[in-house]
Amino acid sequence: MMNNRYRILAEELLGLAGVTVNGRNPWDIQVYDERFFGRVLTNGELGLGESYMDGWWDVQQLDEFINKVLRTQLDKKIRRSWPTLLKLAMARVVNLQSQRRAFIIGKRHYDLGNDLFLNMLDKRVNYSCAYWENATTLDEAQEKKLNLLCRKLYLQRGMRVLDIGCGWGAFGKYAAEHYGVSVVGVTVSQQQMELGRKLCEGLPVEFRLMDYRDLEGSFDRIVSVGMIEHVGYKNYRTFFDVIDKCLKNDGLFLLHTIGANQSSTSVNAWTDKYIFPSGMLPSVAQLANTFEDLFVMEDWHSFGQHYDRTLMTWYQNFTANWEKIKDRYDERFYRMWKFYLLSSAGSFRARHIQLWQAVLSKHGMAGGYQAVR
């Protein structure tokens, strides 16, 4: 009886988004286990993702299903279970991104295996949003993103650059090759560092396995691409204090980040459990309120629609190359990773989350900053 009530309510809510249970449209979900309805209505995003991983439901176009759900704001109409609410409340009390926990994300996500990422990403191994302006392939779009970063930073030969959250060194390698700079990259992933050193061999690109809070030194430019999402709102000030300490007075800092439309002090329950432990998306207000007495905001560029296309291309690469890597993973991981990539694409398509690049200076760039696009 309870399952039937859950089903009726779920069908009513999904109908608001134009989604029909067991319907014929590619975004209509096919439900294989009646327990699905109660699990989602009582556990929200955690129940939705876990039940997909368990094979309780499927959909031809998961990305478009998520887009429709978020466009209708159905996520705000579904209650969360007490364990989930307790965990979200704990995020307000406990510093989930403390220095003691800094290497957890490296071990649980970025160290899943370089083979996974090499078979999903572009040839330069960029694990961040590409820039698709006048680009037709992922390789082209990622090179355009790297060049955009360099141009926004006004890199000049001989400069010393710090890359916080350097990944496999895509930015450092490109900047050293095309702009003649030296780069110090920091990561919390052992596997990223090992492969990055091989990819950048012979170039003035140094890798360090360390937490950003331990950084020292002076740099002409600093860049951070897709890393502040792991910093947490309790540590935003510490992060910008490190930038202030390490950036020369006439230097520039470029922050590339996924962003939330509203300020939050909690994490997405499914993403936290399965993809990015303690990951947290900053809002414009949280970032600006943190750095307003340290930096001048020279430029703010929003292009989240480019992440939708990037994620869909990663998904195509992942599924096309699955046979090459599936011996290291299992079917549940396959469904988990599909849900991660496609639900993220749908979230960007719905404008539920954004992608920003902000350029900051300490005292305002002399003569003014000319925005680059």
Residue 89 within a domain: no
Residue 367 within a domain: no
Indicate if 65 and 196 belong to the same structural domain.
Answer: no
Indicate if 249 and 354 belong to the same structural domain.
Answer: yes
Q: How many residues are given for the chain?
A: 373
**Residue 371 is which amino acid?**
A
For residue 250, the domain's CATH number is 3.40.50.150
Residue 87 within a domain: no
Indicate if 147 and 265 belong to the same structural domain.
Answer: yes
Digit-by-digit pLDDT tens for the chain (373 residues) are 566 888 999 999 999 999 999 999 999 999 999 999 999 988 989 999 999 999 999 999 999 999 999 999 987 766 544 454 444 444 455 555 555 555 676 667 887 889 999 999 999 999 999 999 999 999 999 999 999 999 999 999 999 999 999 999 999 999 999 999 999 999 999 999 999 999 999 999 999 999 999 999 999 999 999 999 999 999 999 999 999 999 999 999 999 999 999 998 877 899 999 999 888 999 999 999 999 999 999 999 999 999 999 999 999 999 999 999 999 999 999 999 999 999 999 999 999 999 999 999 999 999 999 999 9
Indicate if 190 and 235 belong to the same structural domain.
Answer: yes
Residue 95 within a domain: no
Indicate if 34 and 174 belong to the same structural domain.
Answer: no
pTM: 0.93
Indicate if 51 and 107 belong to the same structural domain.
Answer: no
Residue 88 within a domain: no
HEC readout, the chain: CHHHHHHHHHHHHHHHCCCCCCCCCCCCCEECCCHHHHHHHHHHHHHHHHHHHCCCEECCCHHHHHHHHHHCCHHHCCCCCHHHHHHHHHHHHCCCCCHHHCCHHHHHHHCCCHHHHHCCCCCCCCCCCCCCCCCCCHHHHHHHHHHHHHHHCCCCCCCEEEEECCCCCHHHHHHHHHHCCEEEEEECCHHHHHHHHHHCCCCCEEEEECCHHHCCCCEEEEEEECCHHHCCHHHHHHHHHHHHHHEEEEEEEEEEEEEECCCCCCCCHHHHHHCCCCCCCCEHHHHHHHHCCCCEEEEEEECCHHHHHHHHHHHHHHHHCHHHHHHHCCHHHHHHHHHHHHHHHHHHHCCCEEEEEEEEECCCCCCCCCCCC
Indicate if 133 and 245 belong to the same structural domain.
Answer: yes
Indicate if 285 and 153 belong to the same structural domain.
Answer: yes
Indicate if 147 and 55 belong to the same structural domain.
Answer: no
Identify the domain boundary among 26, 48, 80: 80
State the total domains in the chain.
2
Q: How far apart are CA 145 and CA 149, in angstroms?
A: 6
Residues spanned by the domain of 201:
101-361
Identify the domain boundary among 49, 80, 111: 80
Indicate if 52 and 105 belong to the same structural domain.
Answer: no
Residue 370 within a domain: no
Q: How far apart are CA 125 and CA 146, in angstroms?
A: 12
pLDDT of residue 92: 52
Indicate if 227 and 333 belong to the same structural domain.
Answer: yes
Indicate if 167 and 270 belong to the same structural domain.
Answer: yes
Residue 371 within a domain: no
Strand partners, 186: 164, 208
pLDDT of residue 99: 59
